[in-house]
Amino acid sequence: MSVSVAIITRDEEERLPDCLKSISFADEILVVDSGSQDGTVRIARDFGCRVLSERWRGYAGQKQFAVDNCSNDWVMILDADERVPGQTAEKIGKALDDPVQEFSAYSFLRKNYFHERWIRHCGWWPDRVVRLVDRRQGRLSKQLVHERWISNGAVKEFDVAIEHYSFQGYSDLIHKMETYSTLAAREIREKGGPVVWWSPITHGTWMFVRTYFVELGMLEGFDGFVISLLNGGGSFLKYAKAREMAHARLGPAQGNGSGR
């Protein structure tokens, strides 16, 4: 059975080539680009990818646009910083060659690499993600951040991995914390629930404790401490920004003036 790979990009010339090299098994590779200023589009075309340019719709919207525009019903949804090892590619091929399709999606374990090593704790492993889907039987959720595939049928859990090379250093972690916390804050505001003054403190503290102690980030040395600290910082900022947004909408005339 034929399979497409859908990738969304923006300024990914450094990471895209290794991603594309790892998916030679695909019958089609569709790259949806949202205004790259580097060589991303040229690289994709040189690899033989079909390239579409599309304004940014948000993570879920952009990926759904890519899935909808693929030529095949079975689609592998990848990020430019992900790789498909040979063993995983073989597993995908065998699953799609099965004439009896019992499942409408497949999930994979994801190995997260940082500072040239595999992070085994901090909630980074096992990190299970749905990546191979029958697009006729599901859609991506509409969350602004941490979008996921919602399948209408059964999902098979594969025991093979996808490799994830998302962060080159602490600056990348901080950038993601800043970006994702803003999107998550917007989601909180859209749900309309109140955010009390202690919410950033309690959520941020618990996230650090969970990552460092419960998820054994302490075993990852200094990297584990930084990851745990930034996880806590991201949770703190998410609720702090949501509270800030709420106060901005209220305005000085409607606020209680107490700063709480």
Dump pLDDT digits (tens) for 174-226: 999 999 999 999 999 998 878 999 999 999 999 999 999 999 999 999 999 99
Tens-place pLDDT, residues 221-254 = 999 999 999 999 999 999 999 999 998 865 543 3
Please give the single-letter amino acid code of residue 198. W
Q: Report the b/e string of 190-212 with b at 16+ CB within 10 A.
A: eeeeebeeebbeebbeebbebbb
| pLDDT of 93 above 70 | yes
The pLDDT score that the predictor gives to residue 258 is 32
Mean pLDDT of the 10-26 span? 97
Full-model pTM: 0.91
Averaged confidence pLDDT in the chain: 94
Closest Cα partner for 180 from 240, 235, 232, 255? 235
Please give the single-letter amino acid code of residue 34. S
Q: Which domains are present in the chain? A: 3-164 (3.90.550.10), 170-252 (no CATH)
Tens-place pLDDT, residues 27-56 = 999 999 999 999 999 999 999 999 999 999
CB 143 within 8 A of CB 60: yes
Mean pLDDT of the 21-27 span? 97
